[in-house]
A = this chain, B = another copy of it.
Amino acid sequence: MVTIGDIAKAAGVSRSTASYALSGKRAISDGVRRRVRELALELGYTPNAGAKALATSQTMVVGLLAQFFSDEFAPAMLQYMLGVSDTARALGYDTLLVTETDGAHALTRITGSRMVDGVVLLNVAQDDERVPILRSAPQPGALVGMPGDCSGVDVFDLDFEAAGRLMVEHMHAHGHRELILVSQPEHVVERGGAYVWRLQNAALREARERGIEIHAVFGASRQPEVRQDLHGLLDAHPAATGLLLNNEAAAAALPSVLTARGLRVPEDLSVIGRYSDEFARTFSLPFSSIESAPDRLGEQAVRQLVRRIESPQAREEPPVLRLLAPEFADRGSTGRPPLRP
């Protein structure tokens, strides 16, 4: 392995001079700088990351804690991960991916050992046991998803309340007066997926104010159960003219359910989902949706994290809570309710 000592020797200078010539952190004569840089290139010198981290207390790595629950719909997760990893790289950081089930334990390990300069938590629950650990860790942390207690960490999430209102408003504007709202499975809520409540409660309130009836239910997160759920719901509420989906698996399953029942969208049923554009394309979903913007949320979380990492002032700023305003991606799946005989 070629070290900075080798470069220094070859260039006939001291190691400190070689180091400075490479980093540019102090004035070095033109000739020396050029010679050192050439030699570094020529000998294929790459600084040893461990040594650098030890000397500078900076690893240039961010931790990414993802959690995959068997009762959750995994494909949606990938986009958050890529949002984080791509942004981190663009800012000069590598990404340590942690998929351990015991996220709290893993977090203790990677922060305690100083493997990372900061951490992004994905899929944060209401009462997430990782959050207090992150809060008392020496590195800054950013969350995607909102915990009950947001103190001491930066939080980024979709504004689910606004999303719930928007869905109802939109349906109301088209003249719908009876809706079905399919949320994530009850397990997700019990585990602390508060966003389910946030959307649902806001939708219910908005509906009440507008004189709309909503049947709010949990749906399964896997096939084929969720398909049965959808059939059951449509059977149980034949007068409902609009369907709101805060459940990716339900959205993915809906086209085949509609076909099986011979229902056209929006002529027979209006539909609004909550998922990303990428998700819509992958699953070929023709339904308008509230964009969940996983890539943007991942990106924002990393940008803020890196600000805190790199600037001592930024580190002292009070924590931010940024809720992304929902955007309506119109795919033409909402219209006037059908005339009932």
A: residues with CB less than 8 A from B are 1, 44, 46-54, 59, 61, 64, 68, 73-75, 77-78, 81-82, 85-86, 89, 94-100, 106, 108-110, 112-115, 138, 222-224, 227, 252-253, 255-256, 259-260, 281-284
Contacts and interface: CB of A to CB of B under 8 A. Distances in A.
A73 B283 CA distance: 11
Contact of A223 (B1, B48, B78, B281): B281
Contacts of A46: 108-109, 112-113
A95 B113 CA distance: 15
Given A54-B54, A61-B96, 4 more contacts: A74-B75, A82-B99, A95-B98, A223-B281
A111 to B, nearest CB: 8
A25 to B, nearest CB: 19
A78 B79 CA distance: 10
A227 to B, nearest CB: 7
Contact of A50 (B59, B98, B106, B282): B59
Contacts of A223: 281-284
A16 to B, nearest CB: 19
Contacts of A86: 99
A282 B74 contact: yes
Nearest to A94: B96
B50 A54 contact: yes
Max chain B CB contacts within 10 Å: which of A114, A253, A256, A260?
A114
Interface centre among A44, A54, A64, A97 (most CB of B within 10 A): A97
Contacts of A64: 97
Given A48-B113, A89-B99, A256 B253 contact: no
A282 B283 CA distance: 10
A51 B115 CA distance: 10
Contacts of A82: 68, 99
A78 B227 CA distance: 24
A282 B75 contact: yes
Contacts of A260: 259
A114 B50 contact: yes
10 contacts: A46-B112, A48-B113, A51-B54, A74-B75, A82-B99, A85-B97, A89-B98, A96-B96, A253-B284, A283-B283
Nearest to A89: B100
Contacts of A78: 74-75, 77-78
